[in-house]
Structure 1
Amino acid sequence: MPDPGERPDPAAMEDPVIADLRVALREASFDDAFLARCEAIAPRMLDAVRLPIVHWWLRDHSSPAATLAQLWAYGDAVSEEALRRALPDGLVPALEGARLIRRGDDGWRGTMRLVPFEGLWVASDEMHGDDPVMGPGATTDELARAIPSRAGRVLDVGCGAGSLALVAAARGATEVVGVDLHPRAAAWSRFNAALAELPLELHTGDLTAPVKGRRFDLVISQPPFVVKPPQVRATTYLHGGAMGDELTMRLVSELPGVLAPDGEARLLFDSPTRADAPLWRRLQDAHGDDELRQLLFVTPGNSPDVQAIGYAASSHPALDGDYGREAQRYREHLRAQGIERCEHALVALRPGGPGLSVTIEQARLDGVDATVIADTWDAIAVASRPDERLLETVLGLPEGAWLVQEQASDGGELRLKLRLPPGRGGDEELSDAAAVLVDQLREPAPLAAVIRRYAAACRAEPEDVAAGVLDFVRQSLVSGRLAVVSTEPAPTEEAQG
């Protein structure tokens, strides 16, 4: 275990020095686009496998941005000459004094992780150290996309180095509060807030305890959700309990006490799949059936084998013998807990009931953003209307969706497929009946008119197909297959004629 006195000390960096660092990062063009280029190199491989090629590419690139990426994003040594090209002379002693860089036999190395994130820079502990404070992770951007502009009063629970709290502040939140159990999280968050020139209020404590009695318009959290085998040392940012989601459910139980009446919580986490207790039910059990309405965007998580490999590699990046033993401990623990499948979920929760819960299955979450979440809540409200009001609603296909005819791979007949934009459920092959109905919506129309046209196309009476169409439309609004164009009563076809 490293001596605490040797760990990076972001609190030692004074504001003028942090301002110089901000200028250096900006002038080097060390930004999201550059990091994305680095991350595109063998992105699905473990660090021990891919980093030698990333290091080669960065050394070959030899720009100030590449030097900073070597130093703080990818753990490579840089020469004195390269360091001086990337950072002004006066900044180097300050960084060394705060133990954020160190000189070694092979050159200069970073002792923190500093990466571009959503137009900002976020510094944190190196992820392979002892109980590190976490910066942006592999899926943090999924929750960042779910943070709306001008969100009002925001609480980030388990804020780590402040990644998501700072995104909320940068997008115009009026007040942002970060809470974390880790005693060093506040120091990193303050450093990053100064680097971004953004205000943050920070507290150390367990979940929502430090803000008891206060209410927030938005609560965001990516809580620790990794299973914790008995033989594995606990890591604050990583482990969520024996099953992985115990901490998440405890947070959910506290949400009714911190959400404003019109507030919303948005959480990102993994959870084991349980046939006898689906995720939506476990969430309801945590907060109480009548406390919160639930909207779940769910995609398949990693298999137990992949989980065991990834979790062990996070602690043993060299993939040595300790890695092998820890991977087996994780895999044995997953089996002992009966975990054979997991779900990756972005969950939105709002006060009010009774007992509403909607689950939308997605192939990926990268298209689910703040707009999609807000639109889906609106669609749920419209779909919940009584029949007579829903019949007046003008419907159409979502923006960016289109209908295409494709021939089956076996050379069979042409089928109509609905291609949907990201976050709206993915492509969908339509049944013959659904294809006829959706075809009526190439141009927006009131649902009552759509039913009449559909009935005529099917050579049926409108009253004979109305119930089935209403059910299909309600499901399609919630899933993103259809969109609301207007909720105002539209002129009748006779009046239009």
Structure 2
Amino acid sequence: MLLRLPGVYPPQEDTWLLADVLAAESLGPGSRVLDICTGTGALSLRAAAAGAGYVTAVDISRRAVATTRFNAFLQRHSGRVVHGDLIAPVQGQRFDVVVSNPPYVPAYDDVLPVRGIERAWDAGVDGRLLLDRICRQAPTVLAESGVLLIAQSVLSGVEKTQSMLEEHGLSVDIVARAEIPFGRVLSSRAALFESRGLISPGQRSEEIVVFRAVR
């Protein structure tokens, strides 16, 4: 059971899909894990529970940082939780596993919210304002033979994620998939998605994929 402050997005099916992939990695006492866009800290805590020795969680939301610290305290997991924008707080460091479940929902415009729970899902018109930055930045903090795990919706351009990661010299595979019914947010944008050709008329589910990219 994870607690969360108001305005922090609760873990959902995409989080747990990614968490299962993360737990399958070899996370020994010497392994270093970075969780970008940590939210409630669900992925950081799963990494710690799976045996990772050094876990760092980052979020741009101060409420998410406070929530993650509180959940780590409750579950008696040590780790570092820092406030910052993606990899900015950890530049120059290297990690064996980098994991991220970032905002990826296509929005009405390219203005990212700076407060409120919407910042946990809104990601610009194509849903890639955070994904593109992670694809560019995350490889720079990967250790040799490091693994990058990213969850996203197919509505946000699976092919582009793969090509961007490959451009950074990573070997990329999709290692998990799940079809998930629309929740409240996506249901409210179904007409928008239909008008953009992102979904078929009447479609009310999305496919979530998990990328595993290896240096």
Q: Report SS of the residue matched to 2:4.
A: strand
Equivalence map 1:175-254=2 (5 Å): 175-230=54-109, 234=113, 235-254=118-137
1:338 matched to 2:215? The reply is: no
1:350 matched to 2:214? The reply is: yes
- The equivalent position to 1:143 in structure 2, one of 15, 18, 37, is 18
1:134 matched to 2:9? The reply is: yes
Equivalence map 1:437-456=2 (5 Å): none
Equivalent pairs, count: 202
Structure 1 Cα separation of the partners of residues 60 and 156 of structure 2: 27
Structure 1 Cα separation of the partners of residues 51 and 155 of structure 2: 35
Matched-pair contact (CA < 8 Å) for 1:255–1:287: no
- How far off its partner does 1:273 sit? 7.3
Q: What amino acid sits opposite 1:292 in the alignment? A: L
Structure 1 Cα separation of the partners of residues 199 and 14 of structure 2: 21
Q: What amino acid sits opposite 2:130 in the alignment? A: L
TM-score, normalisation: structure 2: 0.82
Q: What amino acid sits opposite 2:212 in the alignment? A: A
Q: Percent identity?
A: 29
Deviations 1:331-354 (A, max 9, x none): 342134331265421110011xxx
Equivalence map 1:43-442=2 (5 Å): 116=1, 122-126=2-6, 132-147=7-22, 148-151=25-28, 152-230=31-109, 234=113, 235-272=118-155, 279-280=158-159, 282-289=160-167, 291-297=169-175, 299=177, 301=179, 307=182, 310-311=184-185, 327=188, 330-340=189-199, 343-351=207-215
- Structure 1: gaps spanning 5 or more residues: 1-115, 117-121, 127-131, 314-326, 352-497
Give the superposed CA RMSD.
Answer: 2.6
Q: What amino acid sits opposite 2:27 in the alignment? A: R
Runs of 4+ residues deviating >6 angstroms: none
Bigger radius of gyration: 1
Matched-pair contact (CA < 8 Å) for 2:106–2:155: no
Structure 2 Cα separation of the partners of residues 196 and 252 of structure 1: 31
Structure 2 Cα separation of the partners of residues 263 and 270 of structure 1: 23
Structure with the bigger percentage of helix? 1
Equivalence map 1:459-474=2 (5 Å): none
Structure 1 Cα separation of the partners of residues 123 and 112 of structure 2: 13
Matched-pair contact (CA < 8 Å) for 1:298–1:343: no
Matched-pair contact (CA < 8 Å) for 2:128–2:156: no
Deviations 1:418-469 (A, max 9, x none): xxxxxxxxxxxxxxxxxxxxxxxxxxxxxxxxxxxxxxxxxxxxxxxxxxxx
Q: What amino acid sits opposite 1:271 in the alignment? A: V
